[in-house]
Amino acid sequence: LNYHTARFIISAPTLALCPPDNGREVAFAGRSNAGKSSAINALTQQNALARTSKTPGRTQLINFFNVGGDDGRRLVDLPGYGFAKVPEKVKLEWQRHLAEYLQRRASLQGLMLMMDVRHPLSEFDEMMLGWADEQDMAVHILLTKADKLKPGAAKNSLLEVRRRLREWEDLVSVQLFSALKRQGLDEAQARLDSWLAE
């Protein structure tokens, strides 16, 4: 699929206001600052499709993009989670919306989960993996900002995350990724293709 033709469709504050639940979509999730916006922009070869932000956690909307001019194939940018400065009440509200989206969205084929290669598998990441597991939802993890580590250290992080998730290896795959160096784009796009092409 031609991800560079991705276009914004709509922002939804709740599941009820999402576009019709038909066709196929893949959701992108991650802790605030994990590099989710940069990954979406790199994968779609667009500089500003998803907003990269210096004030993490601000966007609480679910943003939908179509792929290939067809609203029946969508990339979905979920709100970043786990930003410390957000009040507890707001955090719980996000968690409710994220869980509801993952549990109820029939067109959702898979979850791309962004984790900083230097701090993978946070409490919030585990929560997302738990929800995905409950739904038998496939997950592809991008260990982002791989350029921040030496190649050997990045590889070790990859192997360690794979080891810790071995129990779920049927549903979960993991790769190194760098939006900055454009590393891992083909592998990530191949995974998106496997979910979005029928």
Which residues contact ligand GDP (rule: CB under 6 A)? 30, 32-38, 52-53, 56, 80, 144-145, 147-148, 178-180
CB burial string 46-56: b at 16+ within 10 A, e below: beebbebeeeb
Name the minimum Å distance from CB 49 to ligand GDP: 11
Contact between residue 142 and residue 188 where contact means Cβ atoms under 8 Å apart: yes
Taking the complex as a whole, how short is the minimal distance between the CB of residue 79 and ligand GDP, in angstroms? Answer: 10
For ligand GDP, give the closer residue by CB, 56 or 110.
56
> With respect to ligand GDP, which residue has the nearer C-beta, 21 or 126?
126
Distances 189 to 51, 117, 141, 183, 197 between C-alpha atoms, Å: 20, 19, 13, 12, 11
Give the nearest distance from C-beta 165 to ligand GDP in angstroms.
20
Query: Do residues 118 and 153 touch, judged by C-beta distance below 8 A?
Result: no
Residue 55, CB-side half-sphere exposure with 13 Å CA sphere: 4
Crossing angle for the helix pair 123-134 and 88-104, to the nearest 10 degrees: 30
Minimum separation from the CB atom of position 148 to ligand GDP (A): 5
Give whichever of 14 and 53 is closer to ligand GDP, judged by the CB atom: 53
Specify the residue, 34 or 132, whose C-beta has the smaller distance to ligand GDP: 34
Report the nearest approach of ligand GDP to the CB of residue 180 (Å).
Answer: 3
Of the pair 71, 147, the CB lying nearest ligand GDP is at 147
What phi and psi, each to the nearest 5 degrees, are found at residue 113? -115, 115
